[in-house]
Structure 1
Amino acid sequence: MLTHLANLRVRGRLERHVPLAPMTSWRVGGPADWLFEPEDADDLAHLLASIPESVPRMVLGLGSNVLIRDGGVEGLVIHLTGTINQRLRLDSERVELGAGLACPQAARFCANEGLTGAEFLAGIPGTLGGALAMNAGAWGGEIWPLVEWAESIDGRGLRHVRTPAEYRIGYRSVRGCEGEFFLRVVLRLQPGDPSTAKARIQELLRERAEKQPLGLPSCGSVFRNPEGGHAAALIEQAGLKGLHRGGAEVSLKHANFITHDGSATAADIEWLMQEVQARVEARFNIRLVPEVRVIGRREGHP
């Protein structure tokens, strides 16, 4: 089904059997059947228009919110990190940012431009496209309240300008316009003092470093906070800090993180996720919902 990809003429990188583990923050998982790193949005639109909509495809940014299974990913993986990452000041309150731009870079750009309200993005270890797809947030801030409009692209390579009203936006959830993914976004912010905004970013990053195990591979927070509570507190109260399988472990520093020592497999991490869910549910009758997306084939399963 995908052999014709080898004959497509694109300007970006299009390769078969590319390892994905180095492209994820957990550093585990198998290869992509095909990987595409577009030169720009036009290159991406051309490829999508040239392949059947039946071809499985997923978008990968910094890989901080996904667990790639050990058997790899079927079909086409579109990798946006390092491309579609423009930064443009539009006027006194608005910026246009590419979906492949890392959230911390976006936060620093806005601060340097003297625009405030996006400092919390410095604590989100993913791209803006991923943040938009899940309504990512940190320290009480979420991205969608800042959005004036976003441009998306569908499976046929057609682009759409969407407003927030076209989506159903909730806590770590964005629904509507399925089958599309984001290319760029315009954020509306508040004018302010650049030095104050930059100092706030540094303060938030210091707080993050104190509370989170940043020195080991992880995906950030594994589970959403349940209504009226905190996933980390439930996991800790269930006695699950330090629970391990293979080289993977429920972090002793932050219970909603699963880290590993470099020897873990994706299967080890997925087992821990399921075990944490089961034990917390048995103890508190609360089913934790993962923030992380588990994608791909298990080892040995085509």
Structure 2
Amino acid sequence: MQSAPGSHEEATVGGKVPQDVAGKLTRDAPLAKLVWFKSGGKADWLFEPESVEDLIQFLTRMEEGTPVMALGLGSNLIIRDGGVPGVVVRLGKPFASVEVKRDNVLECGGGAPGILVASSARDAGIAGLEFLRGIPGTVGGFVRMNGGAYGREVADVLVDCDVVMPDGACVRVPVADLDYSYRHSRLPEGAIVVAARFKGEPGDPAEIEAEMNRIAHAREETQPLRSKTGGSTFKNPEGDKAWRLVDAAGCRGLKMGDAQVSEKHANFLINTGHATSADIEGLGEEVRRRVAEATGVALQWEIQRVGRP
């Protein structure tokens, strides 16, 4: 743990952060390297707990009102250039386990990536979770956002999840209580999903592998996966596709500084060099303006934008 010598707590925006805790605590932690866009400022504090108990103890002792944000793979996120106030919690390897249970259930840590969940299901002969191969994030993120791809979403397979609230309380939340809608759940801001259980159905590993390969190939062919990007930028409006509307407004390839609308997939923004987060977010807002002007549709951000401008 990194901490100030002789200090057991230190002030941050909204309150005080306990110093003498298990896990790694870093002040003024650069976040750009942890997100796919490779842009943005620092976290006032970055906390990487070694266990759920570490996280609970840390949050319980933290002063009420201190902002808390969970960070997974950073794939669906713009960290603004002014950095993130309060504490960013990153769930690393201790939270990346996947365990096969009976009745075709997988119990997964909040830091487990979607590809690991899908692969573990394949190896166990559990079908129905192949779509998680196409979600570039961790369990904690796509459970919170009801992530989806290729015709399925988390709401279709989630049994329940374990959530640590900002005050340190740990609760188990059944899927029905999440009130899922398109890319949204009722989890409060600052709540951190530390584990989840997904249920599939018996399947043939070879067929599951073939479907996962189909998804991987489709992503490779249609998305700018080898670029610094953030995934799908805007939510699909009811009955339409965001990329089609962006295209209709003439925005494919549009640039702002080193930020660009992808030529390969018009619903992806990419960092072609040294774009700032302001460049990327500003480009997204310009796309929204042009789409509204050209089509009358107000696109809604799917990428999360956090921190100080």
Q: Which structure 2 residues correspond to residues 1-302 of structure 1 after superposition, within 5 A? A: 1-2=11-12, 4-5=16-17, 8-177=19-188, 179-298=190-309
Displacement, 1:178?
Answer: 5.2
Deviations 1:178-207 (A, max 9, x none): 542211111111011112112211111011
Asked whether the 8 Å contact 1:216–1:259 carries over to 2, the reply is: yes
Relative distance call for 1:79 and 1:176 in structure 2 (3 A) is closer
Corresponding residue pairs, total: 297
TM-score, normalising length from structure 2? 0.93
2:160–2:173 CA contact under 8 A, matched in 1: yes
State the distance in 2 between where 1:115 and 1:200 align: 12
Q: Tell me the percent identity.
A: 39
Rounded to whole Å, the distance in 2 between the matches of 1:251 and 1:188 is 35
Which segments of 5 or more consecutive residues in structure 2 lack a partner in the other structure?
Answer: 1-10
Q: Normalising by structure 1, what TM-score? A: 0.95
Task: Report if aligned partners of 1:93, 1:115 keep a CA contact under 8 Å in 2.
Answer: yes
CA contact (8 A) 2:178 2:185 kept: yes
Q: How far apart, CA to CA, are the structure 2 residues paired with 1:247 and 1:178?
A: 31
After the TM superposition, which parts of structure 1 deviate over 3 Å for at least 4 consecutive aligned residues?
A: 176-179
Question: What is the CA–CA distance in structure 1 between the aligned matches of 2:88 and 2:293, rounded to whole Å?
Answer: 37
Distance 1:81 1:124 in 2: 18
Q: CA RMSD in A?
A: 1.3
Give 1:120 deviation, angstroms.
0.5
Instruction: Look up the equivalent residue of 1:135 and give its one-letter code.
Output: N
Q: Look up the equivalent residue of 1:127 and give its one-letter code.
A: T
The one-letter amino acid paired with 1:65 is N
| Cα distance change of structure 1 residues 280 and 244 upon mapping to structure 2, 3 Å threshold | same
Inter-partner Cα distance in structure 2 for 1:85 and 1:198: 21
The equivalent of 2:5 in structure 1 is none
Residue 204 of structure 1: SS of its match in structure 2?
Answer: helix
